[in-house]
Amino acid sequence: MSVNAKQPVEEGHPMEELLRMDRSPHIWCPPCGLGTTVTALATALKQLQIDLNNVAVVSGIGCTGRVAGYMKVDSFHTTHGRAIPFALGLHIARPDMKVIVFSGDGDLISIGGNHFIHTARRNVDITVICVNNFIYAMTGGQVAPTTPITAKTSTSPYGNYEHPFNLPLLAASSGAVYVARWTALHVRRMTTAIKEAISKKGFSFVEVIAPCSTLYARLNKLGSGLDLMKFYHDNSVIKHGVDLREVDINYQSKVIVGKFIDIEKPTYLDCLNEGNKRVFGDKYKPYGGGNGDN
């Protein structure tokens, strides 16, 4: 039985502290935006200088869902759409840890959409990074709730005719306290946004528009991964704090990016503790936390 076969490990990779080198090479296509986004998360964690023992990454299913498997922190690869409620449980059990959900648009917003809005509503102190490539990539390029109108996918072969979600508007109106959107091209700004999101108390959301050259670009004849990056370069418009009703993404339209929301609001656990203190006074016994020692 060679299930436990060790992969050869390269030495001296700059991210080796943060990535599972024994799982290299990864499964993603060469021009995919995920590599850049994972690097942004790793860089953000490094720059924040937080204790990596206290970070957990939770993913759902899909190409982006595989991120949990490559991050060298306590990491959980859950079922399709369910990363957020799993993360919520983990966060409540270990409020001292930074819990980061890293998943895709189909996973978080379609099958997991209900969890997304409710966890934002509660302002649970987790960070959600959503890589939006406008398509279900792992399953072969089907239409997503983020697919722009007229874009072709394997299940909208004549062009999508459904209105897509505007993710920043959805997150903000559901209750997120931090909302930003960048593309995979904006590596530095994306890294800053992830740093801010992780540092933010409450439900923080970063949308990353990322190229899927294998499916989205191919089915829509948009060229290579590099062509998509050029498109982001030419068509991204930075508008911090813009009215979120204006950040819809249409087919091959301008992509409005920026930091949209950054507000203060008591978190789920703040409200739970304050509410109970108000009622029970000194009799209230706040949750002591799972410590893994007992």
Partner 1 sequence: MKADPSCVLTGAHYLDGNHACAEGGIAAGCKFFAGYPITPSTEIAERVSQRFPLIGGVFIQMEDELASMNAILGASWGGVKTMSCTSGPGFSLMMENFGLGIMLETPCVLVNVQRGGPSTGLPTLPGQADMMQARWGSHGDYEVIALAPDSPQESFELVIHAFNLSEKYRMPVLVMTDECVGHMTEKVVIPPAEEIELLERRYTDKKPGEAWPYDPSEDGISPMLPVGKGYKFHVTGLTHDNRGYPVINAEAQEWNVRRLMDKVNKHVDDIIWLVEKDIEDAEVVVLAYGISSRVVQPAIARARTEGIKVGQIKMVTVWPFPEKRVRELAEKVKAMIMVEMNYGQVFLEMDRCIAGKCRSRLVGHAGGTVHNPFDVYNAIKEAVK
Binding residues for partner 1, per CB under 8 A? 1-4, 20, 22-23, 52-54, 56, 58, 68-69, 72-79, 81-82, 84-94, 96-97, 114-115, 118, 272, 276, 279-280, 283-294
Residue 136 Cβ vs partner 1, minimum distance, rounded to whole Å: 17
Residue 167 Cβ vs partner 1, minimum distance, rounded to whole Å: 18
Choice between 56 and 128, CB closer to partner 1: 56
Residue 269 Cβ vs partner 1, minimum distance, rounded to whole Å: 8
Choice between 122 and 181, CB closer to partner 1: 122
Choice between 75 and 236, CB closer to partner 1: 75
In this structure, the number of other CB atoms found within 10 A of the CB of residue 96 comes to 9
Residue 266 Cβ vs partner 1, minimum distance, rounded to whole Å: 16
- Report the DSSP pairing between strands 255-262 and 236-238: parallel
Residue 274 Cβ vs partner 1, minimum distance, rounded to whole Å: 12
Choice between 34 and 228, CB closer to partner 1: 34
Q: How many CA atoms lie within 13 A of 127 on its CB side?
A: 25
Residue 107 Cβ vs partner 1, minimum distance, rounded to whole Å: 13
What are the CA-CA distances from residue 82 to residues 7, 119, 238, 282 (Å)?
30, 12, 32, 36
Choice between 145 and 148, CB closer to partner 1: 145
Choice between 233 and 284, CB closer to partner 1: 284
Residue 94 Cβ vs partner 1, minimum distance, rounded to whole Å: 4
Choice between 148 and 202, CB closer to partner 1: 202
